Amino acid sequence: MMTGVFGGGTAETQRSLARSVGKAACVYGYPLVELMRMCRLQTMSRFNAIPSGRAPVDTLHHSDHPPTDRGGERAGGLYTTAWIYLGDGPRHLHFPAGWLHPGHRLCARLYNAHTEKIAEFGPDALVCSGADVLLLGPSADVPETLDGRTAVRASTDMVWLVVRVDGNDNDREGADALRAEIILDAPEGTLKQRRPPAVDLWEGDGSDAVVDLLERGESASSVAPVFYSNLCRALAHARARPEDRRLVASFRQVGLAPGASLHWGSLMPALRTGLVEGFEDAAEYLCMGTIDRERQALVDSTMRLEIRNDRAAPYFASARNASLMPSLTSTSFGSAFKAMAASLSL
């Protein structure tokens, strides 16, 4: 039996506990796991010498399309994105002054590993002098001298940068010139381009576990252990907020130790059964929440959202999903999942 894992009571008691805690853990950790999965798909290891069309971590990537085709982002615009790992030290970002690039507008947003917006630099703020940003991890010290830079502390080691450039569609050269002046680098002597262990040690084929269960018909008993394993590793890069610490600590009693490898086979059979059931419950819970939000959007918005088979897949899951994927203007997407998980644990 694993240390700290609940082992008392009857098998049915253990199963019931694992089902309840597992459901809350899945809801809490789903955005986190999905962001790590997305990073895995869009980046390559710094040791990979084979061209893959993917940029390393801590590297800017320019594109004509949004960083994901999910979520109903409006068409048009150019994008510059980067996956940034602060576990090896701070990073420096430079955004150019808008007045030097008339006809084009730049908006930069930084998201933490829970897909919560932690900072935004819009066109009005950048118009005169641009911005120089020192991006710090959760436990990094702020330098005594910032030399004109703005210090931004991220709440997680993993940060997602999304920059959008709008403006004159007929002046692509001007837009590219603006994007070329965006800089992402690291202080001298700082290790960079290392993917977080949760990304490098990702288990599974890179697909969304909830989609595997609900849309591809894979068994929960095969999908759930992989999801929980990825969740445990991902939690190492996303320190819980003070108000969430008791919830995250409760995961340990059913074998889900944040930051550690999951020893699925070492768990008691009743706990494994309950965790599988909890994963199924969470998938259905998230899916039904998506349907409710989409139906409300059909009533409240002139922009219709397509619903096929009366079920929308969660988050980054499928091209038809437009409500669980965070909008690039969202500020509290991950917080909504945390709140749902907290309500389930009451």
Q: What is the DSSP letter of 7?
A: -
Residue 294 pLDDT: 42
Got the DSSP string for 29-82? Answer: HHHHHHHHHHHHHHEE-TT--S--S-EETT--EEESS-S-S-S-PPS--EEEEE
Is residue 60 within 8 Å of residue 184, measured between CB atoms? yes
Strands 150-153 and 131-136: parallel
pLDDT for position 151? 95
pTM: 0.82
Q: What is the pLDDT of residue 333?
A: 61
Handedness of CA 236, 241, 246, 247 (dihedral sign): negative
The answer regarding whether domain 55-193 maps to CATH 1.10.10.10 reads no
What is the rounded CA–CA span in Å between residue 179 and residue 175? 6
DSSP 145: -
pLDDT of 5: 62
Residue 264 burial (C-beta neighbours within 10 Å; 0-12, 13-18, 19+) = middle
Query: What pLDDT is recorded for position 72?
Result: 44
Residues found in the chain? 346
For the chain, residues with pLDDT lower than 70 are 1-8, 45-53, 68-76, 289-333, 346
* 3-state per-residue secondary structure call for 233-276: HHHHHCCCCHHHHHHHHHHHHHCCCCCCCCCHHHCCHHHHHHHH
Give residues with Cβ within 8 angstroms of 327, minimum separation 6: 71, 72, 73, 333
Whether the CB-CB separation of 289 and 263 falls below 8 Å is answered with no
207 vs 193: CA distance, rounded Å: 24
Q: Provide the residue ranges of all domains of the chain, joining segments of one domain with +.
A: 11-41+199-344, 55-193
CA distance 277 to 285: 12
